[in-house]
Structures are given as structure tokens and as C-alpha cells.
Structure 1
Amino acid sequence: MRIRKILNNGSVIVNNKEGAEMIVLGKGIAYGKKIGDEIDRTKIYKVFTAFNNQEKKLLLQTIHETEPIFFQIAQKIVDRLKKEENIELADSVYLTLTDHLATSVERGKKGLYLNNNFLWEIQNYYPKEYHYGLWALKLLNDQFKLKFPEDEAGFIAVHIISGELGNDINDFRQSVNFIKEITKLVRFYFDLDLDCQSLSYNRFVLHLKFFWKYMMYGQKSHGFGDLSKEILAVIKNSDVAAYECALEIKKFIHQNYSYNLSNEEVMYLAIHINKITTETRNQK
């Protein structure tokens, strides 16, 4: 790949074999180089391709206004998610994460730290993403000698969640509110204080996250598998209350999201509700 334009020491514009324009980032990738020179591929840590004019404008603006270290930290986060969780973040999320890191550090150097109003929800509904947020938080604190509170780990987790959903941060807020409303319905219906740390509760929340994605975007991966044994167990236990609670959830979803749950989806909810309520009662 030969350099067509140098943006700064860490970024250049090149063309691939098909002639398509690419923006390439790499530590010192343009240092001592001139237009027409080959780039050192071993220095590349990020390549942007297939962007429209608006995306290119945003990308160039972010490159010009942001120190390379923040792109590198964002890439470390992205690389670890890909390696350990097989999560691929869209380029748009990579950019917003980079911008967020730069803005947060700028505030942190002035002693200005933000409260995260969704911190409890992130910790309890998205523990995996929060775990990586804490790891990224340590990277920032070590790199810049700052003392970010855990709220910042929550903000970083939101960008990861948005990347998983494939949409913007507003979509994350909507998914969190959906999970909160459904779990609240279960709490009020049974007048139980559910254990947010229990395995059955976490499985229920995980199911709601996947269901939200399926319901809103029609993801093909939604499936239930063979439920015959689970359904039989619920019938044997005669847990009519779990089924009736699932029907209340069906009404709520239909009224608020114009989505009609199938009989199988209702039964699957009943199975989860049966498990979390039974586990909660057994602990008392």
C-alpha cells in the first residue's frame, strides 16, 4: 500500500489493489515518509474502509483532533473483546469509544468525573461488558496517572454494548429500560426481592437481552431449542403463577412494543420465571 496523503505521523490515506480509498492508522506509520512511499504493514493497528463522505469527514475530524494514544487504547479494548469474546465492534463504535476516552481523560485531568446514572443496571444486566470496562479503566488510570471512579467503567461498557447491539447509545438505554421493566413486573407480581447475583437471574437477563435484539431487529440467531423437558417440568410443578406472570409480560410487550409473543416465547419466559422465583424462595 502506497501513501496517497499523509494526515499526521500516525495516519495516512492509501488505495487498495481495487483502487478503493482506505485510511490507515499505525504508530509512527508516516514518520520520515512521503507521498508514494510504501507503508510498513507491521505498524498498522487499524484500517478504515468502505466509508461514505459523511463518515470520512467524521473520521478525519476525529484523527485531527485526537491524540494517537486514544486510538491505540481503543484498539487494545477492541482486540481483547475480539480475542476473548469474539465480539466485533463496528468502526463507528470504535470512533465514538476513542472520542469518549479522549474526552474523559481531558475532564479527568481537571478533576471532573461524571456520575453514571445507569451504573447499577450495567453492573447487573451487562456484567461481562462491565468487566471489560473495569479493565479499560485500569488502562486509563495507569497511562495517565488518574483516579477514575467505577462510573467510567460503566461508560466504557456502554460503548461495548452499543457495538454488540450494532446501534447507538440510545438503543442501549432502551434495552436497559426494557430489561428493567420486565424484571420489575416479575418482582411486583410475586412480591419477591430477586437475587441479582444468582445464576437463574443472570440467565433470565441474558434471555431478555437476546430477546430485545430479536424483537427490535429480527436477528436470525433467536431460537429456543428443545423445550419439551423444561415445559414438562413446569407442568409437573404446576407453577401456574409463572405462566400467568409470563402472560402479563406478553400484554406489556404488546402494548408498549407492538410485538405479539408466540406461545413458545411465553412458555420460555415462564420457565425462567419459575426458576428465579423458586431459587429466591428456597434461599429464604
Structure 2
Amino acid sequence: MEIKKVFNNNVVLTQNKEGQEMVVMGRGLAFQKRPGDDFDTDKVEKTFVLENRGVSDKIGELLREVPEEYLNIADRIISIAKKCLGTGMDDYVYVALMDHISFAVTRHKQGIVLRNALLWEIKKYYKDEFAIGLEALNVIEEETGIRMEEDEAASIALHLVNSRVSGEGLDSAVQIVKVVNDTLNIVKYHYQMELDESSVSYERFLTHLRFFAIRLVRREKNISESSDDFMFTQVQKRYSDAYACSEKVASYVNKTFNWSVSIDDKIYLTLHIQRVTSRQELNRLK
């Protein structure tokens, strides 16, 4: 089969007889290979058929900084989800899960455990997705030897929810778009920079903002404030500029929607703002 793109020595993009893009993985599959070359199909260990052609580029971008084992982990989780939920999913869920899980494992190794502010709501309103999230923890442990907390099962469940068709009404959808757009503009003006909308970091931030906006529109309050004052203080000090930006977002939300942003939400907003702006600044200096 012919190679369309080489992501790394073990992963390539090709095309099947039906014209569908496929990400193919196998040890040494693309060693010393270039686009246009054929690869040895006997070396193929895993194949991912993609309906959305733009997703392959996102996977390729992510594979520059994330080991391909996380693509396999994501695929195992998605396979479980498809069997249990019986509905289609956007191909981008591969990227979202790869990125989230690799970041979560890195945080866990550093001793950083983030509590999911929506844990109670996810358990109550997205029972099937949360059950899959719990199974995902077993997959992650099998592949990495690391056991995650229930909070991560909830985060994985949210990615599954986000990959399915939204059932929000038109008015709510308009409000959600407004919250997301206004928040992005606050970040842009605070940092005086245009955000790279093609980057994985931007997509990650956008996903978080959608969840944040949906809860705001639904007027869903956190059941309890975060008791991890140490984590909040550390994030506030270490990422002071990003925290200042998150405070602007909180002020906007309070004035416009009369909705108080919790400490948990401020922590997550700060971390995502820090990530999306610092990575872009780094790339700009290269």
C-alpha cells in the first residue's frame, strides 16, 4: 500500500480501496520511507479508518509530542464506547482522548491530581458514558501501569459526550457560542495575540470552554467548592498571568450572566489558558 504521509517511524497515513483515509501503525513500518513509497503490510499491527479527512493531520501533529501508545489506548476506549452507546462518534475523539490521557498520565507522574468539578453531574446525567470512563481507567492501567482516579473517568466521559450530536436547543446553542467566543476574545486581548485555531492546544481549550459554557447556560452550579486550597494557590502563583486572565473571564461571566465561577473552574481555566498561550508563544520564538 502507498504512503500518503509519514507521521513517525511507526505510523503512516494511507488510503483503502474505498478511498477512506487510514492511519496505520506498526513497529518500523515507515523507517526510511517517504510519501509515495509502499510499506510492508505484514508489519501492520493496527489500522484506524477515518471518515473526517482533517483528523489525520491533527493525529500527526499530536504524534510529534505524544507516544503512539496513546493512539492505541484511545482506540480501545472508543471501541468500548461504540459497542455500549451504539451511536456514531466524531473522529476527532481520537485526538481528544490521546491528548487528554497523555497529559493526565504526565500530571499523575508529577503528583498533580486535578479534581473534576463536574464529577457529580456526570455520574448523574451521563451514566453510560461514565461507566465507559471507568472501564477506560482499566485500559489505561493495563497499558501504562498507572491507576487514575474517578475524576479522570468523568473527564473521559465528557469527551465521549462531546463527540456525539448535541441536543441543546437553538437559543441555548446561540448562548453557548457567545460565551465561547467572548471568552476567546478576552484571552486574545489580554495576551495581545491571535490564537492558532489549527493547533491541538486550541482545540483542547475550545472543548473545555464548550463544557464550561453548557453548564453556564444550564445554570448548573458545582455541588461543592474545591477544598484543595493548596492546588489553587500553587496555580495562582505559578501561572499569575493566566490566572489574571481567568479572573477577567470570571468577571465577564458574573456581570453578563450573573453566574459565579467556582475555584475549580478558575483552576481549569488558568491551566488551559496557560497551555494554549505558552505553547503558541514558544512556537513563535522558534
Q: TM-score range by the shorter chain?
A: 0.5 to 0.7
Q: Secondary structure at the match of 1:133?
A: helix
Aligned twin of 2:82? 82
2:16 and 2:143 map into 1 onto residues whose CA distance is 34
| Cα distance change, pair 7–94 in 1 and its aligned pair in 2 (3 A) | closer
Q: How many residues align?
A: 181
Q: TM-score, normalised by structure 1?
A: 0.54
Q: Secondary structure at the match of 2:47?
A: strand
| Structure with greater contact order relative to length (CA < 8 Å, sep ≥ 6) | 2
Q: Structure 2 residue aligned with 1:51, among 42, 50, 53?
A: 53
Aligned twin of 2:122? 122
Alignment of 1:102-141 (within 5 A): 102-141=102-141
| Cα distance change, pair 83–10 in 1 and its aligned pair in 2 (3 A) | farther
Contact 1:6 1:30 in 2 (8 A): no
Task: Give the superposed CA RMSD.
Answer: 3.3
| Cα distance change, pair 89–40 in 1 and its aligned pair in 2 (3 A) | farther
Aligned twin of 1:22? 21
The Cα shift of 1:137 comes to: 1.3
The Cα shift of 1:159 comes to: 0.4
| Cα distance change, pair 28–139 in 1 and its aligned pair in 2 (3 A) | same
2:212 and 2:146 map into 1 onto residues whose CA distance is 28
The Cα shift of 1:50 comes to: 4.6
The Cα shift of 1:29 comes to: 6.8
Matching residue's letter, 1:26: M
Greater CA drift, 117-126 or 147-156: 147-156
Q: Secondary structure at the match of 2:112?
A: coil
2:120 and 2:72 map into 1 onto residues whose CA distance is 29
The Cα shift of 1:144 comes to: 2.5
2:20 and 2:220 map into 1 onto residues whose CA distance is 46
Aligned twin of 1:229? none
The Cα shift of 1:21 comes to: 8.3
Instruction: Tell me the alpha carbon deviations over residues 152-194 of structure 1, each in whole angstroms, 9 at most, x when there is no partner.
Output: 1111111011012369444444444556659xxxxxxxxxxxx
| Cα distance change, pair 171–109 in 1 and its aligned pair in 2 (3 A) | same
Alignment of 1:216-227 (within 5 A): none
Matching residue's letter, 1:80: I
1:165 and 1:56 map into 2 onto residues whose CA distance is 21
| Cα distance change, pair 152–22 in 1 and its aligned pair in 2 (3 A) | same
The Cα shift of 1:117 comes to: 0.6
The Cα shift of 1:70 comes to: 0.7
Q: Which runs of 5+ in 1 are unaligned?
A: 183-255, 257-284
The Cα shift of 1:141 comes to: 2.8
The Cα shift of 1:127 comes to: 1.0
Matching residue's letter, 1:9: N
Q: Secondary structure at the match of 1:65?
A: coil
2:59 and 2:143 map into 1 onto residues whose CA distance is 24
1:128 and 1:177 map into 2 onto residues whose CA distance is 23
Matching residue's letter, 1:28: R
The Cα shift of 1:7 comes to: 2.4
The Cα shift of 1:30 comes to: 1.0
Matched, 1:63 2:63: yes
Alignment of 1:240-255 (within 5 A): none
Q: TM-score, normalised by structure 2?
A: 0.54
Contact 2:27 2:43 in 1 (8 A): no
Matching residue's letter, 2:24: L
1:61 and 1:8 map into 2 onto residues whose CA distance is 10
Contact 1:116 1:155 in 2 (8 A): yes
Contact 1:71 1:98 in 2 (8 A): yes
Contact 2:11 2:30 in 1 (8 A): no
Q: Which runs of 5+ in 2 are unaligned?
A: 167-205, 222-256, 258-286
Contact 1:3 1:39 in 2 (8 A): no
Percent identical pairs in the alignment equals: 28
The Cα shift of 1:59 comes to: 2.8
| Cα distance change, pair 146–42 in 1 and its aligned pair in 2 (3 A) | closer
The Cα shift of 1:92 comes to: 1.5
Greater radius of gyration (CA): 1
